[in-house]
A and B are shown apart, each in its own frame.
Chain A
Amino acid sequence: MEYLYSAIIILVTILLAVPLGRYVSKVFKGEKTFLDFFEPIEKLIFKISGINPHAEMDWKQNLRSLLTINLVWFIWIMFVLLTQTWHPFWNPDNILSMEPTQAFNTAVSFVTNTNLQHYSGETGASYFSQLLALVFLQFVSAGTGIAALALLFKGLANRSTRNLGNFYFHLVRACTRILLPLSIVLAVVLLLNQTPMTFKGSETIVTLQGDTVSVARGPVAAMVAIKQLGTNGGGFFGPNSTHPFENPNGITNAAETSAIMLIPIAMVFALGYYLNRKKLAYVIMAVMTAGYLMLLIPTILQETGGNPMITQMGITQPQGSMEGKEARFGPVLSALWSISTTVTSNGSVNSMHDSFTALSGAFQMMGMQLNAFYGGVGVGFINMFIFMIIAVFISGLMVGRTPEFLGKKIEVREVKIAILVALLHPLLILGGTALASHTWMITENPGEVLKWLNNPGFHGFSEMLYEFTSSAANNGSGFEGLGDNTAFWNISTGIVMLLGRYIPIIGPIMIAGLLSQKKYIPESAGTLKLDSGMFGVMLFAVILIVGALLFIPALVLGPVSEYLTI
Chain B
Amino acid sequence: MSKHPRVSKLFQKELVAEAFKQSFVKLNPAAMIKNPVMFVVELGTVIMLVMSFYLLAKPDAVQGSFGYNLAITMVLFITVLFANFAEALAEARGKAQAETLRKTRQETPANVIMPNGDIKVVMSSDLKKGDVFVTSAGEIIATDGEIIEGIATIDESAITGESAPVIREAGGDRSGVTGGTKVLTDQIKVQVTTEKGESFLDKMITLVEGAKRQKTPNEIALTILLSGFTIMFLIVTVTLEPFGRYANTPIAIASLISLFVCLIPTTIGGLLSAIGIAGMDRALRANIIAKSGRAVETAGDIDVLLLDKTGTITIGNRKATNFYNVNGMPDGEFIKYCALSSISDETPEGKSIIELAKKSNIEVNLNDFKNDTFIKFTAQTRMSGLDTAGGLSVRKGSIDTIRNLVQSNGGTIPVNMQKIVDDIANNGGTPLAVSVNGKAAGVIQLEDIIKTGIQERFERLRKMGVKTVMVTGDNPLTAKFIAGKAGVDDFIAEAKPEDKMNYIKAEQKAGKLVAMMGDGTNDAPALAQADVGVAMNSGTQAAKEAGNMVDLDNDPTKLIEVVEIGKQLLITRGALTTFSIANDVAKYFAIVPALFIASIPELQALNIMGLVSPQSAILSAVIFNAIIIPILIPLALKGVAYRPLGAESLLARNLLIYGLGGVIVPFAGIKLIDVLLTIFNLV
Q: Could you list which residues of chain A lie within 8 angstroms of chain B, going by C-beta atoms?
A: 390, 393-402, 407, 410-412, 415-416, 419-420, 422-423, 426-427, 430-431, 433-435, 437-438, 440-441, 458, 461, 519-522, 524-529, 532, 534-535, 537-538, 541, 545-546, 549-550, 552-554, 556-557, 560-561, 564-565
| A-chain residues with CB within 8 Å of residue B568 when the two chains form the complex | 400
B573 on interface, CB distance cutoff 8 Å: yes
B303 on interface, CB distance cutoff 8 Å: yes
Q: By the criterion CB–CB under 8 Å, are A545 and B648 in contact?
A: no
A196 to B588, CA, bound (A): 51
Q: By the criterion CB–CB under 8 Å, are A525 and B235 in contact?
A: no
A564 to B602, CA, bound (A): 6
- Closest-by-CB residue of B relative to A561 is B600
B156 on interface, CB distance cutoff 8 Å: no
Q: By the criterion CB–CB under 8 Å, are B655 and A398 in contact?
A: yes
Of B40-48, B316-324, B443-451, B575-583, the segment with at least 4 beta carbons within 8 Å of chain A is B575-583
A120 to B578, CA, bound (A): 48
**In this complex, which of A399, A438, A535 has the most chain B Cβ atoms within 10 angstroms of its Cβ?**
A399
Q: By the criterion CB–CB under 8 Å, are B240 and A553 in contact?
A: yes
| A-chain residues with CB within 8 Å of residue B659 when the two chains form the complex | 538, 541
Q: By the criterion CB–CB under 8 Å, are B595 and A400 in contact?
A: no
Can you report 30 residue pairs joining A to B where beta carbons are below 8 Å apart? Answer: A390-B225, A393-B225, A394-B574, A395-B574, A396-B570, A398-B574, A398-B575, A398-B650, A398-B651, A398-B655, A398-B658, A401-B570, A402-B218, A411-B218, A412-B221, A415-B224, A435-B242, A437-B246, A440-B246, A461-B246, A527-B465, A528-B648, A529-B647, A545-B582, A545-B584, A553-B595, A556-B596, A557-B244, A561-B596, A561-B600
A166 to B497, CA, bound (A): 47
| A-chain residues with CB within 8 Å of residue B238 when the two chains form the complex | 434
Q: By the criterion CB–CB under 8 Å, are B239 and A423 in contact?
A: no
A434-B243, A565-B602 given; 7 more Cβ-contact pairs under 8 Å: A393-B225, A398-B651, A400-B571, A415-B221, A433-B243, A521-B513, A557-B596
B677 on interface, CB distance cutoff 8 Å: no
- Give 4 closest A-B pairs by Cβ, nearest first: A526-B465, A397-B574, A419-B228, A400-B567
A410 to B217, CA, bound (A): 11
| A-chain residues with CB within 8 Å of residue B605 when the two chains form the complex | 564
B646 on interface, CB distance cutoff 8 Å: yes
A527 to B512, CA, bound (A): 12
Q: By the criterion CB–CB under 8 Å, are B578 and A402 in contact?
A: no
Task: Choose among A399, A426, A520 the residue that contacts B236 (Cβ–Cβ < 8 A).
Answer: A426
B592 on interface, CB distance cutoff 8 Å: yes
Q: By the criterion CB–CB under 8 Å, are A422 and B228 in contact?
A: yes
| A-chain residues with CB within 8 Å of residue B466 when the two chains form the complex | 524, 526
* Minimum CB–CB distance for B577 against chain A, Å: 6
B62 on interface, CB distance cutoff 8 Å: no
**In this complex, which of A434, A526, A541 has the most chain B Cβ atoms within 10 angstroms of its Cβ?**
A526
Q: By the criterion CB–CB under 8 Å, are A430 and B239 in contact?
A: yes
Q: By the criterion CB–CB under 8 Å, are B218 and A525 in contact?
A: no
**A400-B300, A553-B240, A556-B606 are contacts. A535–B224 as well, Cβ < 8 Å?**
no
Q: By the criterion CB–CB under 8 Å, are B231 and A399 in contact?
A: no
Q: By the criterion CB–CB under 8 Å, are B242 and A415 in contact?
A: no
B129 on interface, CB distance cutoff 8 Å: no
**Per-residue CB proximity of B208-245 to A under 8 Å, as 1/0?**
00000000011011101101110111011011111111
Q: By the criterion CB–CB under 8 Å, are B651 and A535 in contact?
A: yes
Q: By the criterion CB–CB under 8 Å, are B242 and A397 in contact?
A: no
* Minimum CB–CB distance for B567 against chain A, Å: 3
**In this complex, which of A419, A431, A438 has the most chain B Cβ atoms within 10 angstroms of its Cβ?**
A419
Q: By the criterion CB–CB under 8 Å, are B648 and A534 in contact?
A: yes
B632 on interface, CB distance cutoff 8 Å: no
* Minimum CB–CB distance for B541 against chain A, Å: 31
Q: By the criterion CB–CB under 8 Å, are A537 and B247 in contact?
A: no
- Which B residues, 383 to 400, have Cβ-Cβ distances below 8 Å to chain A? none
B462 on interface, CB distance cutoff 8 Å: yes
**A419-B228, A422-B228 are contacts. A394–B577 as well, Cβ < 8 Å?**
yes
Q: By the criterion CB–CB under 8 Å, are B239 and A434 in contact?
A: yes
| A-chain residues with CB within 8 Å of residue B240 when the two chains form the complex | 553-554
Q: By the criterion CB–CB under 8 Å, are A553 and B243 in contact?
A: yes
* Minimum CB–CB distance for A9 against chain B, Å: 33
**A524-B466, A561-B602 are contacts. A422–B232 as well, Cβ < 8 Å?**
yes
Q: By the criterion CB–CB under 8 Å, are B247 and A557 in contact?
A: yes
A522 to B464, CA, bound (A): 14
A381 to B567, CA, bound (A): 31
* Minimum CB–CB distance for B602 against chain A, Å: 4
Q: By the criterion CB–CB under 8 Å, are A399 and B217 in contact?
A: no
A556 to B647, CA, bound (A): 38
